[in-house]
Structures are given as C-alpha cells and as structure tokens.
Amino acid sequence: MQQRKSKKILIYFFLLLLVGSINNINLNTLELQNINDINIVGLEVEDKSILHQKIKNFNLNNVFSISKIDLINEIESNSIIEKYSIFKRYPSSLDVNIEKTKFLARINKNGQIFYIGSNGRFIKNDFFNNQLPFIFGNPKLDEFFIIKKIIDESKISYAEIKNLYFFPSKRWDLELRDNTIIKLPNDNVNLAINLAIKFLDDNEFIDARIKNQIILDD
C-alpha cells in the first residue's frame, strides 16, 4: 500500500515538473511586439510632431511597458490641450485622441501676450486672433471665468465684447465692439448687466455701479 502511494507521489511530482518546464519555456520565448505606430489625432501638424517625438522618447519596447503616468504628465504639460484619451491598441499601436482648448481672451502678463484657454490656463502661443477680447488689468483666472459666466448668462453675447477692464477693487468694466462702455459694480453684476442692456441704444457710456440706477452720458 505504501509502495503504491510512493509511486503515485513520484508520478505527480514528475508531471508537475513537466508542466512547469513547458510553462517556463513558453514565457521565456514569448516576445512582445514593439510599438510600430503612434497615432495622434486633434493637433496641428507641428504640435502633433512635437508630441509624437516626446512619446517616442519613452520606453516603447512594447505596449505593456509604457507608463501611463508618463504619458499623462507629458500630454497635460501642453497648455493647449483640454481633453484627451489614451488607448493602447494591441499588439503594437498607441492611439492618442486630443481635444484642443478654446481661446477665450488675450491678456498682457509681464510684457508678453497670453491667451486664456477654456481649460483654465494661460497659454503662450503663436496663434493670433485680435477678435478675442483683450483684458486690461491683472485678474486671477477664476475672476475672469466668473465674469465670463455672468456675461454668458446675460442678454449680451460674449462675441460683442471688445475689451474687459479689471480694477484692483475687483470690479469690471466692459467695452463693446461699438465702443460702448458699461461700468459694472462689485456686487449683483448679473442684474447690473441686464439693466444696462435696456439703455444700449444711442448711449456710449452706461454707469451701472449704483444698485438699481443707471447713469448715462449726456
């Protein structure tokens, strides 16, 4: 009886060694294909070429060894990008889909012109569009987005804004494309804008800083 058990143990042990050897051989000879294609969609030719080269500088031995964190950090370092998705398409391709930010306004910071993107970042870019509103003063980004939201929710189209003036008191003035100036208060800005709209015709100066009052140019 004991002899039969010993034979069974030897047989099981032999089978275990055999299976283990086969698995080890398979793993050692398994070669993962290198990445042959990096597909970037959503950027202009020059920006696409720059990002393509930076991605190639990573460890691209195979799609299993790519660090997604490295890719994310590299993509998010590009200030013109707002949204993106990364897809590893096996066995040897990498797809990067990008949505560019929208430029909302221009501003002078330390003698250089920057754009404010819808992604909430200051952007230094060769892009030029003098139709975008110019911001005078030094607001924080969140202060700009607050007034932008108020304008968007008002009866004035943001496309009608030529310039925005920001004051140290945190107050804004708006200059429309027809050169009309609207002076806004610190508080209840949305009410002031909608009240000022009623007096836009034939008035180049509208002072809405006093609650429930409008002062017009003579």
Domain(s) labelled CATH 3.40.50.11690 in the chain stretch across 103-216
Mention every residue, 6+ apart, whose C-beta is less than 8 A from residue 122: 79, 107, 109, 114, 115, 116, 141
Tens of pLDDT, residues 77-103: 888 999 988 887 777 788 888 999 999
Place of tokens 């991605």: 55
Stretch among 53-62, 138-147, 204-213 having the lowest mean pLDDT = 53-62
Long-range contacts of 11-14 (CB under 8 A, 24+ apart): none
29 burial level (CB within 10 Å; 0-12, 13-18, 19+): exposed
Task: Work out the percent of the chain whose per-residue pLDDT is above 70.
Answer: 79
Give 115-163 pLDDT, tens digit per residue.
999 999 999 877 777 789 999 999 999 999 999 999 999 989 999 999 9
- pLDDT of 17 strictly over 50: no
Kindly report, as residue ranges, where domains of CATH 3.10.20 are found in the chain: 37-100
Is 37-100 in CATH node 3.10.20? yes
SS3 32: coil
Pick one of 3.90.226.10, 3.40.50.11690, 1.10.238.10, 3.10.310.10 as the CATH number of 103-216.
3.40.50.11690
